[in-house]
Amino acid sequence: MVTLPEIHGLIVHLPILAVPVVFVLGFLRWRERGGEAVLRAEPWAFGAAVAGCALAFVSGLTVLQDARTTLRGSTISLVYIHLALAFALTAAFAVVGFFRWRRHVSEAFVALTGLAGVLLVVVIGYIGGRMVYIHSVGIDRGGELAQTARAGTTVAVGLARHQSPVRLGKWAYQTGFGCAACHGMKAQGGRGPGLSGGFEAGSFEQTHGGGLFPPSIVTPRMIATLEAWLETKPSGISRVGD
């Protein structure tokens, strides 16, 4: 079954192809090369670039929620930077393309716009690559999920050795699974809600079970250690699912 991240990954190739074409055509027009063929091709290139950028931006919005539940702590800013640059690229090409159609901008300006667009595409692609290959946005394994796997192994060993669930839960929360990056070192809340006093296991699995903490790695017994430590913290702060 085709997923939204896969569709987005396909669509982003449209601006990757079209934006450099705008630069090349603008450069040829600026240097008075190519003649009538370049003149006729230019509006089509602009149209393809604007349409491709717009579709990439919209399809990127569809995976925003996945990024919110996958990225930890301050790394959530990556997705907003990624989308902001994509929007800026779309708007710039739409505006310059319109004024170029009305003959209000020069060939040199079109070439500079195309060059700036190519650089933006490179930066946007770099940020998108970091989200996917480093932080595992849109995928169910790898990246930050490797941290989850390592922590799961450590907690499983601790449980097998009958170590204190509270101590295991504290380590898993603050260090192992990285929960503190979103919910605060003392479960007081942050980017995610406060968890002091405990949380609803069902809501936890619904929020994170398909991505950051898959049930094949984070078992109910491991979740119970988190619950055991969180129950030692003063309650009264909003919980997951409240």
Evaluate whether 68 touches 76 at the Cβ level (below 8 Å).
yes
Domain ranges of the chain: 4-134, 145-230
% of the chain residues with pLDDT over 70: 92
pLDDT at 143: 67
Instruction: Please state the rounded mean pLDDT for residues 49-63.
Output: 91
Instruction: Please state the rounded mean pLDDT for residues 22-33.
Output: 93
User: How confident is the model over 170-199, as pLDDT tens digits?
Assistant: 999 999 998 998 899 988 888 888 888 888
Q: Is the pLDDT of residue 76 over 70?
A: yes
Instruction: Please state the rounded mean pLDDT for residues 84-111.
Output: 92
Evaluate whether 8 touches 63 at the Cβ level (below 8 Å).
yes
Count of C-beta atoms within a 10 Å radius of residue 198: 18
Please state the pTM of the whole predicted model. 0.72
pLDDT at 239: 41
The most confident of the ranges 34-43, 87-96, 99-108 is 87-96
Backbone angles phi, psi at 122, to 5 degrees: -65, -45
* Structure tokens belonging to residue 195: 């968890």
Q: How confident is the model at residue 141 (pLDDT cuts 50, 70, 90)?
A: low
For tokens 């968890």, the residue is 195
pLDDT at 242: 34
